[in-house]
Amino acid sequence: MSDQVLIFDTTLRDGEQCPGASMNLREKMEVARQLARLNVDIIEAGFPVISDGDFHAVQQIATEVRGPIIAGLARCTAKDIDAAAAAVKPAGDRGRVHVFLATSKIHREHKLKKAHDEILRLAVEGVKRARGLVRDVEFSPEDASRTEPEFLAQITQAAIEVGATTINIPDTVGFAVPDQFAALVEYLFANVKNIADAVVSVHCHNDLGLAVANSLAAVRAGARQVEGTVNGIGERAGNAALEEVVMALRTRPEVFGNVTTGVNSREIVKSSRLISRMSGLLVPRSKAIVGENAFAHSSGIHQDGMLKNRSTYEIMDPHDVGWGETELPLTKHSGRHAMVKRLEHLGYALSAEETEHFFRRFKEVGDRKKFVYDDDLAALIEDISLGAPETYELEYFHVTSGTTTVPTATVRLRRNPATTGAAPDAEAEIFQDSAPGNGAVDAAMKAIDRILGRQGHLTEYHVQAVTGGKDALGEVTLKVDFGDGKLITGKGASTDVIEASARAYLHAVGRVLSLPAKPPAGEEVNTP
């Protein structure tokens, strides 16, 4: 049995399915490049058949990202499999098609309404079709943890016989507990005669808070691929947090048979922060490994022990996961070249036009702050609108507020000609309006609503200081429902919280205006 556990990252597929976490193409590319620097083994880049946007994202990642295997998800249907194979084709031998089909009794009877034999036939046909298009095929019996072990062994053996190179055992609804899940993996090793011809993988959800525990139990039972996401993001309660799995294996090797991973752990914190910003999902302060309090010690007893010997209260060196690696900050006197080099260090690749736009924002912030830190740069990156240019840009705002006056905001927006099909040299349209509100931030958003003739309902609003100090950059993350029930994430940053809020709201507006057409109605999509 191999002593290496492969790390399969599904942040761009399962992670992005979390409401409000959708990313545009440029954001997905930034995440994929960072995952490559993290050195994960497989990137599941998306579900190609589900939309043109997903197809093109998987295809571009397969074309541009080097190193990891690039996987596309597909149901056991010809249309899905052909789309996934076409999307990952640019990756060559690093392309993988990941096919899945529900196998549990509850799914067979209530969702698929198919008998054992029909499920088995569909699985075999799906794997065979995929193997005819790519060399690397993964098969997932969806809801495996609630599937009868005998049937699970039968369908696993059949999938391997027709070419599956990886067999993934999903705990789709987070139903399993560690002992039971480990026993299921052990059962497959004992009862599937050709199990050695495939890598056994696990994909655990966190509905009972056991995704990481179940994944680690499966590794002890012989699994050699773990699927999950950075920060544990994903549908419902999320997926197994890959940073926790990796560091558990590294910190307690004697428990897990001295298995290793190829992950570059010093990229973990950087990956966590990038994905938090791109998805709009904040990392809890107490989150293991990557939370701000993960290596903080406030108890006097703990602090005393730390001063005498760090190992008294730290089981990992924070530097090993990327904490404390920020270099010298920039200032308003720093030039374009220095700024670009810092952005490249942080993993951002900007075009010439984006660099110009970003440099202007950098100088604006530099005039307000003594130092511009790496975290400031990462927060400001959203202001250049990764992907297509913003339809509307904030040109001016003025707010009056106080305990004895009605908060009122005046906002002036500039409409970008490039987004309207106008000639490049056409003059930009300017719009201005005012509105009262329940506070300065609410007034600014209502003024924007009046200008645009649409009304967004704010469902979440978070503001946090990016760095320390009175001149800290404020980063606003919000989620907006524009009337269709779909949550749109917006992000903005400024030393002025009201300005950051207006920028975040405009960012959400830009995203909803650029949304692709919805997939055909009536088509239910379920995933492992």
CATH number at residue 495: 3.30.160.270
- Per the structure block, which two tokens stand in for 168? 């993934």
Domain-embedded: residue 473: yes
Q: Examine the domain organization and report whether 149 and 237 are in the same domain.
A: yes
Task: Count structural domains, the chain.
Answer: 4
Q: Report the C-alpha gap between 71 and 35 in whole angstroms.
A: 13
Least confident of 62-66, 333-337, 390-394: 390-394
Q: What is the predicted pLDDT for the residue at 307?
A: 57
CA–CA gap between residue 182 and residue 196 (Å, rounded): 17
The model's confidence at residue 346, banded by pLDDT at 50, 70 and 90, is confident
Q: Is the pLDDT of residue 37 over 70?
A: yes
Q: What's the mean pLDDT when you consider all of the chain?
A: 89
Confidence at residue 521, expressed as pLDDT on a 0 to 100 scale: 42
306 in the same domain as 182: no
How far is residue 125's CA from residue 127's CA, in Å, rounded to a whole number?
6
Query: In this structure, is residue 206 part of a structural domain?
Result: yes
Q: Give per-residue pLDDT as tens, 188-212.
A: 999 999 999 999 999 999 999 999 9
Mean pLDDT over residues 456-469, rounded?
Answer: 86
**Same structural domain, 84 and 187:** yes
Residue 327: pLDDT band (50, 70, 90) is: low
| pLDDT recorded at residue 523 | 52
166, 258: one domain: yes
Summarize the confidence of residues 315-343 as an average pLDDT: 83
Here the tokens at position 73 are 């998800």
At residue 125 the predicted structure's pLDDT band, cuts being 50, 70 and 90, is very high
Q: Report the pLDDT value the prediction gives residue 298, as an integer from 0 to 100.
A: 47
Secondary structure class of 290 (helix, strand, coil): coil
Residues 230 and 130 placed together within one structural domain of the fold: yes
- Tell me the helix, strand and coil percentages in the chain, rounded to 5: 45, 20, 35
CB 480 within 8 A of CB 486: no
- How large is the C-alpha radius of gyration of the chain? 25
Between CA 506 and CA 423 the distance in angstroms is 23
Tell which residue, 173, 231, 245, 177, has the closest CA to residue 207. Answer: 173
Q: What is the pLDDT of residue 393?
A: 86
Query: Do both 179 and 198 map to the same domain?
Result: yes
352 found inside a domain = yes
Strands (E), 16-68: 42-46
Whether residue 326 has pLDDT greater than 80: no
Going by the DSSP 8-state scheme, the letter that residue 205 receives in this structure is: B
Does any domain span residue 157? yes
- Residue range(s) defining the domain that contains residue 309: 291-324
- Is pLDDT at 424 greater than 70 in this prediction? no
Q: Phi, psi (5° rounding) for residue 128?
A: -60, -40
The fraction of the chain above a pLDDT of 70, given in percent, is 91
Q: What is the pLDDT of residue 28?
A: 93
pLDDT at 421 over 70: no
Q: Give me the CATH number covering residue 253.
A: 3.20.20.70
Give the integer Cα–Cα distance in Å for 490 and 392. 14
Token pair, residue 467, equals 């760095």
Residue 461 shares a structural domain with residue 505: yes
pLDDT, tens digit, for every residue of 473-517?
888 989 999 888 888 888 888 889 999 999 899 888 888 877 655
Specify whether 155 is located in the same domain as 31.
Answer: yes
Pairing between strand 225-228 and 199-204?
parallel
